[in-house]
Structure 1
Amino acid sequence: MSADEPKKSKVELIKEASIGLRGSITSELADAETDHVADATTKLLKFHGTYQQDDRDLRKPRRKQGLGKAYSFMVRNRIPGGKITAAQFLGELDIADQLGNGTIRITTRQSIQLHGVVKGNLWSTIHRINEIKLSTQSACGDVTRNVCCCPAPLRQNGLRDQLQQLADEIAVHVRPKTKAYHEIWIRDVETGEREQVVGPPTEPEPDPIYGKAYLPRKFKIGLALCDDNCIDVYDNDLGLLGVTEGEQLIGFNVLTGGGMGTTPSKKNCFPALAKRLTFVKTEHLLPIITAIILVQRDFGNRADRSQARMKYLIHNLGLPAFKAKVEEYLPQAEAICGVPEGTLPRPLPEPHPADVTRHDDHLGWHEQGDGKWFMGLPIENGRVKDEGEYRLKTALRKLFAEHVSNARLTAQQNIIFCDLDAQQREPIERLLAEHGVDTVDKISNARRFSFACPALPTCGLAVTESERALPGVIDEVEAELRELGLPEEQFTIRMTGCPNGCARPYNADVGLVGRSVDGKTGQGRYTVFLGGNLLGTRMNQIFKDQVPRSEIVETLRPVLLHFKEHRHAGEGFGDFCDRIGVEALVEIAGSTV
């Protein structure tokens, strides 16, 4: 690198030298002598939908035995809008049983993750996912991730069907143009043969959106409606909030710069909700999306990955300057999208006054509006497994084999069974009950509106437990709410094992973020955040730091008591905390100890 060139991180150099994300993936997968791949290859494999991990529960015992890490891979699907057929879901279960650890996990971005895939099974896993007509391409990496969208099959006015169609169109538009994914994982998908291609190209294929080095960091897009923000639209790098007049979709408010990840030790790192940029007509979505991605591509920070998300670019430039850059890139974006220059107005208009007014998780039974019904089933932390009397995986196998033709995955890690007949309600509920699976009417609101990231034992970034810890925390919260006479309160509790925020803790009513581990007890300590809301439109604030897992509910108790005694009529817990203020709540909690 010459002195005149801007500084670039190690990952940037790996991407640039990869020849369209190929690198040495093929040769390293063919090496049967090792159970893992080199660090540079792990960076490229993310673009193909997989992370190299190791079982952290086994690190110490293996070290005592003189063994290295127990490596495996997490494989993530890209499923726009969460749409999945019965055959595809059953196929995912089969792949998990035969090539993974026997479980699958529904993610907070409407996709599926498989865990425990060893290196020797990685090619077969991704190949078979493509055989069932799903994909892992761009499920991870510095590109546009899975495009999220309201999953409810409500068809009374066609609005959600339009959102789903747009999610599919956007997903195709922003998919990288490199043929590396097909070369490495698919090839003769009909025969299953792994014939070698003549050889990789010497230069990457031209990609008008991503260029040679793709984006500085991951990029997330989501679509929602003002009266149904079930995907947390403000948490995205690019949120598209549908604006309606009557039952007609007239366009979208474009929201830019959301992102939940942060590094607490760095003062210039922070989580953020997206800012309202402009309003565009529905037919102008692809050009505005393209222009925004191009600005992030060319001006995002490529030297410091902790500063590379678009929220930092907007913070540093200021929203007016960022908007001016987007306008400057509109001609290039219009050319890429094949529309005449000047299709979008200049200057870009102000956002429409419409904003989020409602949240719905779509659980329970609902009429679709076309004579059919759908049922939303809660799945705690998205984990599909059989464990003791709780036999969710077996129940889902039977449901998809006998009753359900297609489903949708939700951003709360739940699943919606679609296109059901009214007479199917009784046998479906009976089947679930026989397998120890609770429907939404049998769980508390505290559990209904909670979810966690995977964290330990597989996530390399995890500081504390999350998925394995939150159910016990909710048990205690339920008991506390019953004692206070507040069992029906609706508020979000979200837990993550580190500050990166995969479970979106920073706009929850209660956010629990893994901070450290007590060296003596091994117990996780968490930062407790208060004051977000169900609507997903407000950031919360730090209430107390370094709270041991065993003291989380004890820490919340005085605040819950004050909420009960001093709330306004109809006021939610997060709204109450925001109105009172964190500093006052800290004083109140201290005075009751």
Structure 2
Amino acid sequence: MDIEVNPNEIIKTNSRGLRGTLKESLADEVSGALAPADAQISKFHGFYEQDDRDVRRERQVQFLEPYYSFMLRARLPGGVCSAQQWLAIDEVGRELGNGSIRLTTRQTFQYHGILKKNLKPLIKRINQAMIDSIGGCGDINRNVLCNPNPEQSALHQTVYGWARRISEHLLPRTRAYHEIWLDGEIQSGGEDESIYGNTYLPRKFKTAVAVPPHNDVDVYTNDLGFIAIAEGDELVGFNVVAGGGMGVTHDDPSTYPRLADELGFVSPEDVIAVAEAVVTTQRDFGNRVSRRHARLKYTIDRMGLDDFVAQVEMRSGVRFRPSRPVTFTSQGDRFGWAADADGSWYLTLFIENGRVVDAEQSQLMSGLRKIAQVHTGEFRITPSQNLIIAGVDAADKVAISTLAREHGLLTDGPSPTRLESIACVALPTCPQAMAEGERYFPAFIDAIDEMARRKGIERQPIVIRMTGCPNGCARPYVAEIGLVGKGPGRYNLLIGGDGVGMRIARLYRKNLNEAELLNTIGELFERYAAEGSPEERFGDFTVRAGIVQPLHNPAEGFHEPA
């Protein structure tokens, strides 16, 4: 009897090592789209097929196919690239994308608006700059997050090295990417996909490496996390956590956001074996029937943590030791100038929603291009969609500051809350979006800032995150205020995150329009201003005041308003 599997599993099995018929789809000039199966396989190569939803209905009336284009996400472990690489990233975005660069919550960059004919030239160009898009998307391990400034200390540099090793080790071994996009030699024999097999993983897989006390990678929201344990500046090992994940489906109680469980402590030399063992356990035990339930968090809940740990220990040959105590104090970025351990300086710039583009009010793209032309250090993308200019000599600080201010990259304007807050892309290109994200979020924060000013709490940073759908790309479920798109102009409101990424927010109100959102948040701000203590975060106040209760088991009761 045939075993039921999701149709995507059949596509992967028949893809000939992720080759599919991508070459034929690219050569088809009749449509701007790929063949449906190739649109699934293309994700493993780093790009998604999309269409402009703003003009979808108009084109239907004219009997035209949707206005197809592609979004490509690069692989950039830890978000680090050289100034020369940034210049290449910039040039490709202007010439082959839609004229912008989007910094992402996966600590890398992506391009939007790529026409099918430009896919191969674009991928070739970024590879010439020693950047690839393998694993940018798809059912494999994606870009590995790490503290975005490895020069901050010797410890940070060491940890960043492990993040790169994990990323390289968990790459697929197929040569399909090189054959199709880089005109590499066609593979004649079999390929050793010993980690992934010919069906790869049941679903996407995300890994992060954190350096306490800063949880800037939101480590507990990832499928797999390594938390650095140090004695002074010496790395002695990692606490390993697994089973985090943000995506849910509206009103489906079998889906829920989840924070990762602690597996235990391991020495640095055991990291690769443990990472591979977690991945292969998910490969063999993950749900291949329902993609809605295919993430590692559901695998662990179904297996039970003890059995999952036993599998990982057996496969890795590593015995977990008790986790070491850790403390996290923040989950965002620290802006402005600061000194590195090596005597150089770094400048963290706020890039609203990660969108690097030249606009009437600010010339962000041009400004960063001019900085890259004179900068000899590196650019680092943060998991909060911001950018660090790193490795700056003291003598160059004034020149870089001047360029940043002239182009709107360095201003005194953003409020503490705006600096802490992020949104996903959403409309018009994301096919999953139910409501606006990036386009609406700045105006929403304007309203929040004005409300906070009237209540006298404008100096208190509040982590606010917005997504256009429940998939959770901006990690709203660990925000102090999370807004999750429910329909055009309507959002679910979540509150109660702790500001450090270690507590799931509770659903507070469902399906609110803008006026209802602002009125509800205004009432909460009123109470916070009157009853909160000066050092108390907004999310902590909502829990202490009993407005919401901590969600100890998200599998029970997440979808019911508190």
For normalisation by structure 2, the TM-score amounts to 0.95
- 1:396 is paired with a residue whose SS is helix
Residue 403 of structure 1: how far off its partner (Å): 3.1
**1:323 — aligned with what?**
309
Residue 550 of structure 1: how far off its partner (Å): 3.7
Matches within 5 A, 1:229-378: 229-331=215-317, 344-345=318-319, 348-378=320-350
**Inter-partner Cα distance in structure 2 for 1:184 and 1:527:** 42
Residue 355 of structure 1: how far off its partner (Å): 4.2
Residue type at the aligned position of 1:483: R
Find 1:399's aligned residue among 364, 368, 371: 371
**1:540 — aligned with what?**
505
Matches within 5 A, 1:413-452: 413-439=385-411, 441-452=412-423
Q: Deviations over 1:215-247 (max 9, x none)?
A: 000111100022111111111000111112233
**Inter-partner Cα distance in structure 2 for 1:8 and 1:424:** 58
Which range moved further: 563-572 or 115-124? 563-572
Residue type at the aligned position of 2:249: T
- Contact 2:434/2:469 (<8 A) preserved: yes
Q: Does 1:143 align with 2:149?
A: no
Q: Does 1:169 align with 2:165?
A: yes
Question: Structure 1 pair 135/478, CA: closer, same or farther in 2 (3 Å)?
Answer: same
Residue type at the aligned position of 1:12: E
Residue 312 of structure 1: how far off its partner (Å): 0.2
Find 1:160's aligned residue among 152, 156, 160: 156
**1:98 — aligned with what?**
95
**1:205 — aligned with what?**
191
**Inter-partner Cα distance in structure 2 for 1:486 and 1:183:** 57
Q: Deviations over 1:12-43 (max 9, x none)?
A: 00001111100100111112222111111011
**Inter-partner Cα distance in structure 2 for 1:358 and 1:550:** 31
- 1:386 is paired with a residue whose SS is coil
- 1:528 is paired with a residue whose SS is strand
- 1:57 is paired with a residue whose SS is coil
- Contact 1:226/1:356 (<8 A) preserved: yes
Question: Structure 1 pair 468/358, CA: closer, same or farther in 2 (3 Å)?
Answer: closer
- 1:419 is paired with a residue whose SS is strand
Q: Does 1:44 align with 2:15?
A: no
> How many equivalent residue pairs?
550
Q: Deviations over 1:343-364 (max 9, x none)?
A: x23xx32322334344451321
- Contact 2:349/2:409 (<8 A) preserved: no
Question: Structure 1 pair 510/360, CA: closer, same or farther in 2 (3 Å)?
Answer: closer
Q: Deviations over 1:401-440 (max 9, x none)?
A: 123531110000000001112232322222222223334x
- Contact 1:222/1:238 (<8 A) preserved: yes
Structure 1 gap ranges (5+)? 189-196, 332-343, 518-523, 586-593
**Inter-partner Cα distance in structure 2 for 1:141 and 1:210:** 12
Residue 93 of structure 1: how far off its partner (Å): 1.4
- Contact 2:101/2:111 (<8 A) preserved: yes
**1:10 — aligned with what?**
7
- Contact 2:146/2:217 (<8 A) preserved: yes
Residue type at the aligned position of 2:421: S
**Inter-partner Cα distance in structure 2 for 1:584 and 1:415:** 35
Residue type at the aligned position of 1:408: R
Question: Structure 1 pair 270/51, CA: closer, same or farther in 2 (3 Å)?
Answer: same
Find 2:66's aligned residue among 65, 69, 83: 69
**Inter-partner Cα distance in structure 2 for 1:473 and 1:89:** 31
Residue type at the aligned position of 2:176: A
- Contact 1:491/1:533 (<8 A) preserved: no
Q: Does 1:516 align with 2:512?
A: no
**1:26 — aligned with what?**
23
Residue 583 of structure 1: how far off its partner (Å): 5.0
**Inter-partner Cα distance in structure 2 for 1:377 and 1:499:** 28
Residue type at the aligned position of 1:76: R
- 1:578 is paired with a residue whose SS is helix
Q: Deviations over 1:356-375 (max 9, x none)?
A: 34445132100002121000
- 2:279 is paired with a residue whose SS is helix
Residue type at the aligned position of 1:215: L
- Contact 1:226/1:358 (<8 A) preserved: no
- Contact 1:407/1:418 (<8 A) preserved: yes
**Inter-partner Cα distance in structure 2 for 1:225 and 1:402:** 30
Q: Deviations over 1:462-512 (max 9, x none)?
A: 000000011001000111111111111012000000000000000000000
- 2:54 is paired with a residue whose SS is helix
**Inter-partner Cα distance in structure 1 for 2:409 and 2:142:** 31
- Contact 1:452/1:494 (<8 A) preserved: yes
Residue 212 of structure 1: how far off its partner (Å): 1.0
- Contact 1:380/1:451 (<8 A) preserved: yes
Q: CA RMSD in A?
A: 1.6
- Contact 2:506/2:548 (<8 A) preserved: no
- 2:438 is paired with a residue whose SS is coil
**Inter-partner Cα distance in structure 2 for 1:354 and 1:9:** 40
- Contact 1:19/1:204 (<8 A) preserved: no
Residue type at the aligned position of 2:425: P
Q: Deviations over 1:18-70 (max 9, x none)?
A: 11100100111112222111111011000000000000011122122221200
**Inter-partner Cα distance in structure 2 for 1:137 and 1:269:** 29
- Contact 1:372/1:422 (<8 A) preserved: yes
Q: Deviations over 1:135-194 (max 9, x none)?
A: 0001100000001000124444x0110111111111110010101111111136xxxxxx
**1:35 — aligned with what?**
32
Q: Deviations over 1:501-526 (max 9, x none)?
A: 00000000000000012xxxxxx100
**Inter-partner Cα distance in structure 1 for 2:416 and 2:87:** 30
Structure 2 gap ranges (5+)? 551-562
Residue 547 of structure 1: how far off its partner (Å): 0.9
For normalisation by structure 1, the TM-score amounts to 0.90
